[in-house]
Amino acid sequence: MIKKTYGNCLLMGSSLKQFASSLLSVTLFGIILTVNSCDLIRMKKDSEESDVTKRVARVNDIYLYQDELNGLVTGKISKEDSAARVNAYINSWIRKQLLISEATKKININESEVERKILDYRYSLIGYEFQNYYIKQNLDDNISSQEVELYYKEHLDNFILKQNIVRGTFIKVPTVAPRTNRVKELIFSQKEKDMEELKSYCISFSAVYHLSDSSWIAFDKLVVNSPMAEIPNKIQFLQRETYYETTDKDFLYFLKIEDYKISDNVSPIEFVKEDIKNIILNKRKVELARKLEDEVYDNAAKRKEFEVFDK
């Protein structure tokens, strides 16, 4: 009986040892598994963060990260242009950070004032984008000739010429071009077929040409890169000449003046018509922007979306 009990005790002791050993093995395996799992999770997390927060450049302890370059490059440009754009941005970022760093060393920066200006600028950008959207949706860009004429008459003092302008014909032809003796005859002809012949000739042989029509052009712009550009007194020249020919070693030059206006006089309406249209369009844009602000304010006031408290 005693022997049997003792044997059972030995058997139980052996079982306990095996159980303890198994439990220890399981525990150690669990710890190892947990540690390895944590390492794997950390490695994965670090890998994910490194993809997003890859450092691109550094100035002192300030870093530029890869994700901050998002949106700089679209798929519509070449790899070379993409690389050039990114490099330009990085270089600009470095220069700005260096300037900021140097500024903080040399002057006292009012951080609250800087933050206020940043907020003001942000609000201005958002408001500007909304105004542009509103203007595009509501702008009437049709401008009648009557509107142009009315604005012109009411603002004549704003259209004083700062240069001499002409209506006429100017042709620059190489000296080796064929039938150059025919050019003058064609310039003075009023026949439709001769005008077409002159145009065809200019297209084929001239280096530069401007044929007479109703448009005005600055005289200096018309005769640039010709001996006429060196005329000392252009006002006297325009008052005296209606037709002029000259030459240099490479080219022949033909000028026929139909009409002219001298600087410091009121500009012809045809010469400033496009400028007037742009002025009227800009005035409409300003009025629409003001209308948008008033509408937003009035609607918000009706809905009691804002209030001003007593100071």
Among all chains, which residue has been given the structure tokens 């026929």?
Answer: 256
Tokens of 89: 């941005």
Which of the residues in the chain have pLDDT under 50? Answer: 1-49, 51
How many other C-beta atoms can be found within 10 angstroms of the C-beta atom of residue 298?
Answer: 10
Tokens of 92: 């600009």
C-alpha of 130 from chain center: 18
Cα 16 to Cα 18: distance, rounded to the nearest angstrom:
5
Cα 135 to Cα 299: distance, rounded to the nearest angstrom:
19
Q: What is the per-residue pLDDT for 38?
A: 40
**Architecture, CATH, for domain 161-261:** Roll (3.10)
Tokens of 218: 């600055």
Nearest-Å Rg of the Cα atoms of the chain is: 41
Cα 309 to Cα 103: distance, rounded to the nearest angstrom:
38
Cα 302 to Cα 121: distance, rounded to the nearest angstrom:
28
Q: What is the per-residue pLDDT for 188?
A: 95
Q: What is the per-residue pLDDT for 71?
A: 82
Cα 85 to Cα 53, 79, 82, 90, 95, distances in angstroms: 20, 10, 5, 9, 15
Q: What is the phi-psi region of residue 225: left when phi exceeds 0, alpha when psi lies from -120 to 50, beta otherwise?
A: left
Q: What is the per-residue pLDDT for 73?
A: 80
Instruction: Indicate the pTM of the whole model.
Output: 0.64
Cα 263 to Cα 274: distance, rounded to the nearest angstrom:
19
Strand 55-59 vs strand 62-65: parallel, antiparallel, or unpaired?
A: antiparallel
Q: Where are the domains positioned within the chain? A: 1-52, 110-152+274-302, 161-261
